[in-house]
A = this chain, B = another copy of it.
């Protein structure tokens, strides 16, 4: 039994007045995840000022048996930063920890604390002619610690990799309050297990990320954005291989959507126009970029790439954005898919991946299968073809009651989609993570050897289970009596 008063008194002594609160008005905004699917309760909201305070607080929690839910921008997709209903856990917000500890533009490295917001990071490094090569819709709230804890993705993974690829160094507070310091970036270091990699993507279940050293890239000087019409998703995959060969490192993005999704976006966006005159079964949005000093060749590169694709019969039609305004208009169509689909009514969404080469066949198998099994539904796949990652939405039949459908058919559809993905050796969470949303599905479908190893590592690093309990790591299978 937690001695609530003793714990809170000791925590206040460690963190000061600004550092911890039980005021319901201050705590309440952080008890619900941003998609509004999960709401919990918390013993308190702690907001330490620095790593030393985090370490002291975690040690105090360990001594009192108080569970900890680390929270960054609270804009995750899987409820990973939302406490459970018991009210025994504290929320440990990293929001106050936004210091830049070091910034070396020549080496293209920055060391910052976990609470730094992604958009602030973008702006900060842009002042030095650099960029941080990862972005996503929630950049105004997502922060560095949460991005690392969830190994966030986005639309630039094709060229630059996910968050894991950006992390050169890491600092984290472990379950006993000790500080794991691997912040100094060494390009080569073979002194044993790469524990940093274990923390990336662990969703706060193994340690609390407090700071990181990140790699930066030269700023983009120019881009070419191309919209392409295609006969099939298989043709899109062939075109992708062509573009990778022709454009090499200049290929920054390759996003796909079917005609029906483009139509939904055009219906939803006032004044929006289709980039191509005629409809096509599939569309691809391709972005090429050049860093400063190499921009003059970009136009030629795009032209050559498209001409050879035309000649090889790899596409039906294509248009290059004439200027930056048009380029932004093309991207707006892509970025408006989520709101456009939401406007159509209730749906269940799946963030899935399969090996890139198999994605066309997977979509061509899964879409008719789902639509046949649940008449009146519409299944759509769109997104990051180059990463083998599509967002697979299944829209409810017209007129159903949202909540009942989502709890009934919606759940059954999700289970079916996850079964299919697993049969295709894919992932039920490509970039959004597991959190509490998919933990049971991971337990149901995960490879038993993987699950056993995850549980062994969790037990080793957090033996009392105080770090983000109920998230990510599936419960061991219940013993079933015969």
**Complex formed: what's the CA distance from A80 to B73 in Å?**
44
Please provide the chain A residues from 158 to 195 with a CB less than 8 Å away from any CB of chain B in the complex: 162, 164, 174, 178-182, 184-195
A456 at the interface (CB under 8 A from B): yes
A449 engages B246 (CB within 8 Å): no
Chain B residue at smallest Cβ distance from A197: B197
Given contacts A194-B197, A202-B192, A356-B107, contact A187 B387 (CB under 8 A): yes
Chain B residue at smallest Cβ distance from A244: B108
Give 1 or 0 for each of A334-368: 1 = CB within 8 Å of chain B CB: 00000000000000000001111100000000000
Q: List 7 A-B contacts (CB under 8 A).
A: A187-B356, A188-B353, A188-B388, A190-B431, A191-B428, A457-B461, A460-B460
B294 engages A248 (CB within 8 Å): yes
The interface centre, meaning the residue of A164, A186, A357, A431 with most chain B CB atoms within 10 A of its CB, is A186
B248 engages A429 (CB within 8 Å): no
A248 engages B291 (CB within 8 Å): yes
A384 at the interface (CB under 8 A from B): yes
Please provide the chain A residues from 237 to 267 with a CB less than 8 Å away from any CB of chain B in the complex: 241, 245-246, 248-249
B157 engages A192 (CB within 8 Å): no
**Complex formed: what's the CA distance from A453 to B462 in Å?**
11
A412 at the interface (CB under 8 A from B): no
Contact among B107, B192, B293, B430 with A201 in the assembled complex (CB-CB below 8 Å)? B192
Chain B residue at smallest Cβ distance from A458: B193
A432 at the interface (CB under 8 A from B): yes
A449 engages B355 (CB within 8 Å): no
Give 1 or 0 for each of A190-214: 1 = CB within 8 Å of chain B CB: 1111110110111100100000000
A461 engages B454 (CB within 8 Å): no
